[in-house]
Amino acid sequence: MNPIRYGMIGGGRGAFIGGVHRTAAAIAGNWQLVAGALSSTPDKARASGEDIGLPANRNYSSWSEMFEREISLPVNERIEAVAIVTPNHMHAPPAIAAMEAGFDVILDKPLAATMADAIAIAETADRTGRLIAITHTYAAYPMVKLARDMIVGGKVGAVRRVAVKYTQDWLAHISDAGENKQAQWRMDPVQAGPAGAFGDIGTHAANLVEFITGERIASICAELTMLPGRVIDDDGAALFRLSGGGRGTLIASQVCVGDMNDLAIAIYCDDAGLHWRQEDPNRLTVKRRARPDEIWHAGADRTYLPVGLSALQRTPGGHPEGYLEAFANIYRAFGQHIRGAAQAGEAGYATLADALAGMAFIDACVASSERGAVWVDVDPGEGALR
């Protein structure tokens, strides 16, 4: 297929996730970066574009300039999609403008800083018919997809209990914010939204639960906390109930000293327990009562894996694939959808419905914690708490 011509918004000098998106798109092989507005500061935007080799005539000082100039180009030259890699509060304006201009959108989670902005994005997508993908990366790992196949496919029985944790330590000390650009906006409710750690990584944990089980988190009881002097959560824990009747626990923290990026999940079903850890992503352990443990390994040559999973892997077993390749799986799948070449089955990326569920999760956790850790329904359909 012809590569998707795309422009990037954000992701310039000092940014982390912009480079990840560009690398993932290159690995996917069906995307081509042709334009960008890489910073909200015009001079920095142009300098950042020069850094990565954007052509001068398509290295823009703002996303509004990019849209205005790109739609004036011939259809077979202009961008077809945009990747938005800005702080949360700057997701909605360019996403809405991009769809209005006729471009599809891929953007980081959460969908927006507020539910109102998220609903505005969703309404624009519905009205314009444009496609949106959200980069919940961890659901794109092959072994995570295998776990989903086992559970949703009815191979291990109904879900009884889930235990998921996502713990980091990069904000474990007050001084860690300092001059750290990535920390500063994530700890500012105006830019990040109402939740800190639960909005940043708690949403990943929640999405992983929902993706693997094929169920939604229906209600939650959460306690969010923070170190003295901070105004937004950096730590928290929650109990939750799944739509299918199962129960679970979720921990999301950025102040757990010694943990780098420890996302781990265990799903206990009628007939087996499934265990996966992001820091050892190429193995899925399946445990059964009074039987030896099963260890499933990733790898393009693992013939025992379902055909769809083999197609997502690029190297033989024993050659680790990880975060960037999982990210690339999202770009690959979204590119296929844009081109109308997607296969039947799950989308291969987090959809708008998944993203709205993530926004409802954030609002429910904040509301529960503010009310003293009471049970609150999660309502992605109405966009408000019942």
348: pLDDT strictly greater than 70:
yes
Task: Specify the range with the lowest mean pLDDT, choosing from 201-205, 257-261, 306-310.
Answer: 306-310
Tokens linked to 136: 């919940």
CB 31 within 8 A of CB 25: yes
* pTM as predicted: 0.95
17: pLDDT strictly greater than 70:
yes
CA 185 to chain CA centroid, nearest Å: 18
247 forms beta bridges with 161, 241
The C-alpha torsion from 82 through 84 and 90 to 95, rounded to 10°, is: 30
Per-residue pLDDT averaged across 371-386, rounded? Answer: 74
User: pLDDT value at position 169?
Assistant: 97
Domain 141-319+351-370 = CATH 3.40.1360.10: no
**Residue type at position 185:** W
pLDDT band per the 50, 70, 90 thresholds, residue 386: very low
Distance CA 83, CA 328 (A): 13
CB 364 within 8 A of CB 373: no
Q: What's the Cα-to-Cα distance from 14 to each of 39, 181, 310, 319, rounded to whole Å? A: 10, 7, 36, 31
User: pLDDT value at position 178?
Assistant: 81
344: pLDDT strictly greater than 90:
no
User: pLDDT value at position 382?
Assistant: 47
29: pLDDT strictly greater than 50:
yes
pLDDT band per the 50, 70, 90 thresholds, residue 384: very low
Tens digit of each residue's pLDDT (9 = 90 or more) over 128-147: 999 999 999 999 999 999 99
Domain ranges of the chain: 4-130, 141-319+351-370
Tens digit of each residue's pLDDT (9 = 90 or more) over 278-299: 999 999 999 999 999 999 999 9
Domain 4-130 = CATH 3.40.50.720: yes
pLDDT band per the 50, 70, 90 thresholds, residue 381: low
Residue linked to tokens 């109930």? 241
Positive or negative torsion for Cα 130, 135, 140, 145 = negative
